[in-house]
Structure 1
Amino acid sequence: MSDPLKLAIFDCDGTLVDGQHMIISAMKYASDRCKIPYPGDEQVRRIVGLSLLEAISHVYPQHTDNDHQLLRTEFIDHFQYLRTQDDHEEPLFDGIRETIETLNDMGVLLGVATGKSTRGLKNTLMNHGLTEYFITLNTADDGPGKPHPSMINVALSDAGVDRENAIMIGDTTFDMVMAKNAGVKSVGVTWGYHPEHELKSSGADHIIDHISELVELVK
């Protein structure tokens, strides 16, 4: 009997790529344009992974829904502008490409579940030459964002993989709680935007300090 199919679902910002620089820049720009005080880089890093409007409402809880919509519009405009610049910063973390290639060679199916827009995710994967490796891409554009289990449920359906053979890899508590809500195992990574103790307290089944450690876990 052949081994069952396995699915590794990755978060994007903070897990595959270090997208904080562009996110922080765009949020500062949006705050300035809307004449709303910027809450600080650390507050913004903590909401990376949520869908954009939900993230903005977390960062600016004292402001109105209209303010949130204006901030969202300015953020998107500036973020898209930054993507057109040759020096825009969204590097892969160390070892990501090699690990993805290894998992793919092992026959592990790969997916993404992210708070990025679909356009943003596809641009990121294309810019790094990784598009071909992922069979299911799930973003906040498609339905409820993290920590709702919807994105993982869709990924499982797309891949035809049972829950017990899937794993969610992410850097935030939103990823860990989403995995728990979906009934799949979770791996917290320590190079992202939430500290290790928060990943553990939110239910991470495993913690890794380098992406290469994921290969043995999946085996």
Structure 2
Amino acid sequence: MTDSHKHPDAQLRLVIFDVDGTLSDSQADIIGSMTDAFVAEELTVPRPDEILGIVGLSLEVAMPLLAPEVPDETLDRLIAAYKAAYMQRRLDAGAGHSPLYPGMRELVEALSAEPETLLGIATGKSRRGLVALLETYQLSRAFQTIQVADDHPSKPNPSMILAALAETGVAPEHAVMIGDTQFDIDMAKAAGIRTIAVSWGYHPTTKLAHADLLVDDAAALRKAIDTLT
């Protein structure tokens, strides 16, 4: 449900954020939880760069990439162990869990205050994990559309973006996706919307060259959003 009927003269725009590696820095928890899961199964732990390379994918897609030789029942246990370890780390860390990147809270708050701007999330996180993160930083009310791994095929399938466009009623040419991985950019391009890559996340910028714009900080991101929408 949007506020579009309140602003008949304004051209609505939709700004969609990825979460891990874009809004918040959860790499320590991701690597640690994946390590716990593999150790529990007595499997060789993937390298940190391998683990960060799958961030953005749903676990059901990511885990076979990290453990291609193991049977399905082991993959199921790895996924369950990862989820349990991640939740425990979140509970143990409390308010310090997955800190937001510099300037991102202020950017989200500024954008959410604009009548013509709707905000969305498209993430490989579970709904439970995302809700906990947004509540920690008191950002739950900032987003009009939230798309999570529970409800969609994994990125780079465009399903999350298409659902966000449908829920908000914003035309693709007035929407932009912000992410730190190749999967985010590919997903957005498959849905026909513009893309902004951030350099502070989990994929090297060499994998992000096909984004419309690449930015290095929150101030540059704000300018890029205004440029593209």
TM-score normalised by length of structure 1: 0.95
Question: Is 2:105 aligned against 1:97?
Answer: yes
Measured against aligned partners, the alpha-carbon deviations of 1:71-125 in whole angstroms (never above 9, x if no partner) come to 0111111111112113653000000011112212233110000000011111111
Conserved 8 A contact 1:21-1:89: no
1:130 aligned residue: 139
Alpha-carbon distance in 1 for matches of 2:85, 2:224: 39
Q: Give structure 1 stretches of 5+ with no counterpart.
A: none
Moved over 6 A (4+): none
1:59 aligned residue: 66
Shift in Å, 1:214: 2.4
The alignment-based identity, stated in percent, is 41
Q: Name the SS for the 1:204 alignment partner.
A: coil
Measured against aligned partners, the alpha-carbon deviations of 1:162-192 in whole angstroms (never above 9, x if no partner) come to 0000000000000000001000000000000
Alpha-carbon distance in 2 for matches of 1:37, 1:7: 42
Matched letter for residue 189 of structure 1? V
Matched letter for residue 173 of structure 1? Q
Question: Is 2:87 aligned against 1:80?
Answer: yes
Matched letter for residue 10 of structure 2? D
> How many residues of Structure 1 are paired with residues of Structure 2 in the alignment?
217
2:119 aligned residue: 110
Alpha-carbon distance in 2 for matches of 1:51, 1:138: 12
1:172 aligned residue: 181
Matched letter for residue 178 of structure 1? M
1:120 aligned residue: 129
Kindly report which structure 2 residues correspond to 1:1-219, keeping only aligned pairs within 5 A, or say none. 2-86=9-93, 89-107=97-115, 108-200=117-209, 203-219=210-226
Conserved 8 A contact 2:147-2:163: yes
Q: Name the SS for the 1:63 alignment partner.
A: coil
Alpha-carbon distance in 1 for matches of 2:86, 2:225: 35
Shift in Å, 1:3: 3.4
TM-score normalised by length of structure 2: 0.91
Deviates more, 1:51-60 or 1:187-196: 51-60
Alpha-carbon distance in 1 for matches of 2:31, 2:98: 12
